[in-house]
Amino acid sequence: MTADQTGPVVRTPHGAVRGRYERGVAVFRGIPYAAPPFGPRRFRPPEPPEPWDGVRDAGAFGPTAPKPPYSEAFAQYLSDPDIPGDDCLNLNVWTPEPGPGARLPVLVWLHGGALTRGSSAVPVYDGSAFARDGVVCVSVNYRLGVEGYGLFPDAPPNPGLRDQLAALRWVYDTIEVFGGDPGRITLCGQSAGAISVGALLAAPGTQGLIRRAVLQSGPPEVCEREKVRRLVRRMATRLRIPATAEAFAAVDRELLLRTQAEAGRLSSPVLGGPAFGIVVDGDLVPRDPLKALTEGTAARDVELLMGWTRDEYRLWLVPGGLLERVDRLGAVALAGAMARCHAGHEVPRGYRTLHPDAGAAETVGQMVTDHLLRGPLHRLADARPGSSYLYEFAWPSGIPGLGSCHALELGFVFGTGDAPESKKLAGEGAPQELCDVMHAAWVRFAATGDPGWPAWDATHPVRIFDLDAPELAHGPRDAEMALWSAAPAVPEPPRTLVPRAPGAELAAAMRRLRRSVGALRH
């Protein structure tokens, strides 16, 4: 429990912690904000941690939430440290000035990973650059997969999201002793982390806790309860147990992770399928967060920074050569995208007109990205009475085929482009000047609410982060968005992504494509 005596000491509500000074920044790692979520607490809402005596060492990252590893195809691009231990509900703090009185802006980071992977220990998320620039940075671990987002008849929904709320409340109550201002908290996340930010923004229990929010490559959304139940039932069938929290809690943890990976192997942002996600629960998430934010009064005074990468879909399709497989499927893949997006023939026809040189994979990828991500963020910005700022990250990776893919911007936001884990996506030679500009925009937004370009209005200004493009573009993807507003929606086919009309040949081809995705993802 006793740490290096030269490090800074801060007293939290549950006990004192001693961090480290690293390159002029005070760092505290692995601080518990809730009790270990196992034993009688498994599948239950988080509870406060047990207080401790003396000074707790906060020099190393704490345990990560249980999760399966990435497949070999994805592991070459994405890093995901696995730190064993039960005390996985922990967080980390980087601060330039520990102690009350500094009143610095605070950025709270929620990692991505499809709610099944990821952690605060990923080196790309090092908060040192934020602290050096006067922002207290906090990164959070939360429960993942079936532990955090399984849906059971005998347990409350969304325990992983409840973990995030507990961490946010801990920050609000505690961050002043680390030098932060609880009145200037920016909640920030990417991918599944951004989806979580959207849900927390709309949650009644967070009102007053969040001053600003950043949504990177993830919209406010909920998952259909039946979709989550279907994945839980698949796991239960494989384990030969009832689909209850009590039965799942009795299963060996490693066996549960292997079963989760196998049962969820067909899940994909492009193709859908059963997956874990945030669900409407009548409590923490009383309604669809996007509707609450666009039609209601939730978080009306919260400033928003939102955006995407130009080629999000390439991280989903490039690993293992799936991009080429989708191109070969051609019309079959386009039909699957129409079903995935509930779109009629007008939409892919419009994309082909706008981008005549694009192959099937690019058309499918951009269609799905616009439907699931860019469209909802456009609608959110249009509906907000307060300030919203939109961006597009367009610098292409040095890794062949990745383009401006999903998650590529993270090393630029955190100023960690030199880290080996960032180079797995960006390659060698990521431009430091672009990193400096993007990181400075996030710092400025956390401090002032203005990242440095015009707020969203009728002209649709979007900041483009690239070396060879204008800094500001007005409605760079408005033509694609117009296709969705002009085309009638097609009802979702029941329990399948394959339209019934094209017949058995199309269904068989789509099954082969989903199996290809599953083989690569796990």
Catalytic pick from 191, 267, 388, 422?
A: 191
Contact 146, 276 (CB under 8 A): yes
The burial of 132, by beta-carbon neighbours within 10 Å (0-12 exposed, 13-18 middle, 19 or more buried), is given as middle
Beta strands 461-465 and 472-474, pairing class: antiparallel
Q: Which residues pair with 259 in a beta bridge?
A: none
Catalytic residue among 97, 303, 312, 362: 312
Identify the bridge partners of residue 13 per DSSP, sorted by sequence position. Answer: none
- Cβ proximity of 183 and 301 under 8 Å: no
First to last CA, the chain: 38
Round to whole Å and give the CA distance between 320 and 297: 45
Token code pair at residue 83: 């730190």
Tokens standing for residue 388: 């919203």
The answer to whether 314 and 405 are in contact (CB under 8 A) is yes
What totals of helices (H) and strands (E) does the chain contain, helices first?
20, 14
**Contacts with 332 (C-beta within 8 Å, 6 or more apart), sequence order:** 506, 509, 510, 513
Identify the active-site residue in 371, 378, 406, 522: 406
**Residue linked to tokens 């039932």:** 233
Active site residue 406: yes
Q: How far apart are CA 186 and CA 206, in angstroms?
A: 12
Q: For residue 2, what are its two tokens?
A: 């006793």
Distance CA 497, CA 518 (A): 15
Report the catalytic residues: 191, 312, 406
